[in-house]
Amino acid sequence: MQFWLGASFVETGQFVELARASERCGIHTLTLSDHIFYADFDSPYPYSKTGVPRWNADTHWPDVWVTIGAMSAVTSTLRFAPNVYVAPARDLFSVAKQVSTAAVLSGDRVTFGVGVGWCKEEFVQTGQDFHTRGRRLDEMIPALRELWAGGSVEHHGAHFEYGPLSISPVPAEPVPFFVGGDSEAALRRAARIGDGWMGNRVYPEERLDAVIADLRRYLREYGRAQDDLDIIAPLAVMPDAATYRRFADKGVTGTLIAPWWLATPQEKAEHGDGIELKVATVERFAEEVIAKI
């Protein structure tokens, strides 16, 4: 079982220290979320019952790739991933250059978590078509793989037309693609062309069992083996080594954690609510759970 740190809503200045602590404590991958701006969105937020986002205008959303570059400079084994990057809200070559550079600077420690996004306003402001975002992502993923392989490539598709051309630098190893979202389209995309699937909500066991069953069915449909796809899921369970082993037996490769959300009153009193609390709770999680698995 891999433990991925879900660092959504973390203040920008805390990421470097949090990365150091994560590596020290045995965290596999540190994840951070992606949004371009805040506004009074008309688009309903799909992960709350009210459709209203859980953040406000003061919430930090630092650029994913700049932040990963800073964290990779102070670590050597910790991996990094957006959960998830709204790639079709950007143009193909900006995405290709940013991810490739981050992968090279980190020594191939980047996993590319991607999703189609829900916020139409972001697509409008970046000049990308909201209504074709899924089809463009389906074409974007193999196009990015070709660009990152190095050498001169060309592409003639429904949404992207270019070449022959090349980009540099390119990673020494392939960048894994992990697809986010739990709609049928997202699960099918993960099973068809992804290296992994990432959940972006907390899953009760029954709901996660259904997602895993769907992923396995789609993998069979596309002629892929069950172990061709990693499954990273935030779990609605209290931290416990035996429980995590049980989920591993179900096929869950890893889970997302944010231990400071379960800080004890004593920890809050001792450390406040800043980076000290985050580091202390990650250290406790490492001692009580990671060390026992």
pLDDT for 269 equals 96
The three-class DSSP label of residue 212 is helix
Given a cut of 90, is residue 48 above it in pLDDT?
A: no
- Which percentage of the chain shows pLDDT scores above 90? 90
Q: Domain limits of the chain?
A: 2-10+26-259
Q: What residues form DSSP beta bridges with 5?
A: 30, 257
Assigned token pair, 193: 């062309």
Half-sphere exposure of 181 (CA within 13 A, CB side): 21
pLDDT band at 54 (very low <50, low <70, confident <90, very high): confident
pTM of the prediction? 0.95
pLDDT of residue 51: 84
Whether the pLDDT of residue 196 is over 90: the answer is yes
pLDDT for res 45: 85
Task: Look at residue 75 in the predicted model and tell me its pLDDT.
Answer: 98
In this predicted structure, the answer to whether residue 170 has a pLDDT above a threshold of 90 is: yes
Strands (E), the chain: 2-6, 29-32, 79-82, 112-114, 153-156, 161-165, 177-180, 196-198, 230-232, 254-257
Tell me yes or no: is domain 2-10+26-259 CATH 3.20.20.60: no
Burial class (CB in 10 A: 0-12, 13-18, 19+), 265: exposed
Other C-beta atoms closer than 10 Å to the C-beta of 252 total 21
* Segment 200-209 mean pLDDT: 91
Tell which phi-psi region holds residue 272, choosing left (phi > 0), alpha (psi between -120 and 50) or beta.
left
DSSP of 126-148: HT--STTHHHHHHHHHHHHHHHH
- pLDDT confidence of residue 189: 98
**Strand pairing class (161-165; 153-156):** antiparallel
d(CA 64, CA 32): 7
Q: Which of 45-49, 85-89, 166-170 has the lowest mean pLDDT?
A: 45-49
Q: Cα dist. 247→147, 183, 234, 291 in Å?
A: 36, 21, 11, 17
53 has a pLDDT exceeding 90: no
| Mean per-residue pLDDT, 222-240 | 94
Average pLDDT over residues 245-265: 95
Task: Provide the mean pLDDT of the chain.
Answer: 95
Using CA atoms, how far apart are residues 186 and 195, in angstroms rounded to an integer? 13
DSSP 213: H
Q: What are phi and psi of 118, to 5 degrees?
A: -125, -15
Contact at 8 Å (CB) between 180 and 117?
Answer: no
pLDDT for the residue 163: 87
pLDDT classification of 272: cutoffs 50, 70, 90: very high
* pLDDT one-digit tens code per residue, 90-115: 999 999 999 999 999 999 999 999 99
Rounded average pLDDT over 238-259: 94
Neighbouring CB atoms inside 10 A of 66's CB total: 12
Mean pLDDT of all residues in 188-195: 98
What is the average per-residue pLDDT within 239-243? 91
Which pLDDT band holds residue 200 (cuts at 50, 70, 90)? Answer: confident
